[in-house]
Structure 1
Amino acid sequence: MVSKELFTYHVKKALEGYYDAASLQLSPLIDLLNLVSALGETRIACLRRLLRETIEALKPPSSIPYNEQAWVGYRVLWSRYIQSRSQFAICEELGLSRTSYYRYLAEAIDAVSAILWDRYIALTPTEDRPNTIRPTDTGPIERAVRLSGYSSLQATRLAEIAEIIDDVLRIISPLENQCGITIRVSLPTQFPDTYYLSAGIVRQVLLIVLTEAIQIACNDVVNLIVAASKSEIAWRITQLRSDLLVSMDARVASNMAAAQALLAAHNGRLWSERDERKCFTLGFALPVCHPRTVLIVDDDPDTVELYTRYLRTGPYLVRTARTAQDVRKLLAQDLPDLVVLDVLLPGEDGWNILQQLKTMPETAHIPIIVCSVLSQPLLALALGAKEVLRKPVEQGTFLRAVSAALNLPEVPG
């Protein structure tokens, strides 16, 4: 069973290759959707017909005027893929900006994917189906976990930590004034040059815990103390009159659960403690990551985006290159820990890149994973590739190959 994310990727590529028989012939959707050709119809024609019918299913009822907003997504999708019109022509006809065009197009593609996904799920044996089907709104905990998956690691220095705190304090200052509270911040005097952590998660958790903390302060001052060690950065909010983690208030409990979910998704923790004056402290910590740099060499932006999304779930920094020339420029700046390489590239192909990287003394040690639609594993391995994966690649397969190449603990799934 494929993930919904990869399924949507297949749908997008099939739409982009709607009139390209060779592209549709290789589309995994043919097998995933168990397409059976009608009499005199090829499997390619069957997939093309299914895509067209699914797009038509998005067509608003005739009772809605054609110039209403409800028609825009359908018209963008139909014009782009069925009529093969350019982005410029579509934007001019519909009066859309470039940003609006891409937003409507992405939403329409997601809608087509959702219809076809339901069909795929119906064809999948019950025991192989996902454990849960997510409704539109799954509550704060699920939203928090989903958000954490899109929070990539960033190089963070003490100045950036201070900026995050200042930004959070600016946002909550109206509530701080309303409660008559002053938040005093204490930053460490010693701080390593650079930490890698998710600044987005820090910001969201700080907003949650400080918003709740200033409402239960023991007096008119709440202390925010930041401490750094080699393994983690910790934030402690002191001078609280009750324990937020055992609150019986449903709203507070829900917000604390959301904070815990955000932190847990990045191996962080949330805790509380009581001091000798019977005031409580609420603390949270995130581990310091030492990420590996992965260089993705592929000229297909959708594939690059997919692999980047896969890698965001782990301790990786992503660099990208489209051509052999791009690769040389990046290598001159810094050497990656791993290269993910497509062999079908414009100009100088990936075989030449692979051979050069493995014969140059300064890059010979870098493991290389070849990901391509071509199935030539013996040649790739003979040239020095660590692993060979055939496109399209599922997230679990991709991450296991990356972990193995870097000698990291194997990822589940």
Structure 2
Amino acid sequence: MASHRKPRTTRPHSPAVGVTTAALASVTLLSAQAPSAQAAPAPRQSVEDVQKQVDRLYREAGVATQKYDRAKEATDGQRRKVGRILDDVAKRTAEINESRRELGSFAAAQYRAGAVGPTATLIFADSPQDYFEQSHLMDRLTERQRTAVADYETKRAAAAKERAAATKSLERLTASQTELRTSKRTVQDKLAEARTLLDRLTAEEKTRLEKLEREREAEARRKAEAQAKAEKARAEAARQKEEAAKAAPTPSRPGTSAPKPSTPPPPSTGGGSSYAAKAADVLAFARAQIGKPYVWGATGPSSYDCSGLTQAAWRAAGVTLPRTTWDQVKVGTRVATADLQPGDLVFFYDDISHVGIYIGGGKMIHAPKPGAYVREESIYYMPIYGSVRPA
């Protein structure tokens, strides 16, 4: 009977399904994230790789610095040129105004004489010369008036020409300024990237990097010492050859007396006429700059970049060099590394982005890179591109 049936109890909703669903969803989500969480971190660069990257960044910054130097030189020159042209335009404008006043005085005189029309119209004409070419008016002009009109036209044409030149010069100045800003940003970006790489190194890695630098410097010193020995040997051989030539008797022809020994020339006073004298001035200046910081774009006197130092040093010897390494390498005579003399310029890397002043013994004085100071160093610390003797 229905009344004896076990009553059906209504159980509250079981959370089993909900928990299971949530658990499955969580498992699925974790499964999807697992590969990302378990992915191996990017391999850390070796100290050797960091060293190569930093060297590359400094070299690229050096190239950008030379571009900056070239753009700055062009900008400064163009700015001076624009200033001169604008001064000329102002002068021409003043001269035109004076000519206008003179023509105006003619018009006023004719007005007082009752002849207003033609001359008064002249003052407001676009081309007074065209107007005066009308024969009926030219006959009424005095010689002085004709000269004044011709002078006015000449000055107006010259002013128009100079205004056009000023416009072109301003356009070139704007282009130079744009290149200057671009090069500056490039230098700053390269240096910032190099600093970031170095800052990421651990203390142990920095120690390792310093060791690699010392090894590279030691190798460069060994090569410089070898060149110093070779230079000393050549100098000694040249001295012995000269002494032998002096000691050898001079044969005389029959019937003639032996020639009297010639009087040796007086020693050079080093008045700047010989290359050695100029080189001495160059090296004296360069040595006085040792310890001053490298600053890209700087030309002294408190800081230098590489080509700024070489330019200033040779200026001290009375020789004007271009601003950039790319132009300095074209000046003077090319010389082989084995034939270097003190004062010669040594250029580095295939992109010719660095330069130093040779001092002998395989060494140079140069402004190395940001964070460093003007110093003596082996020329073999960097790959040599070539060398020149500026004067």
TM-score by length of 2: 0.19
Larger relative contact order (CA 8 Å, sep ≥ 6): 2
More strand by share: 1
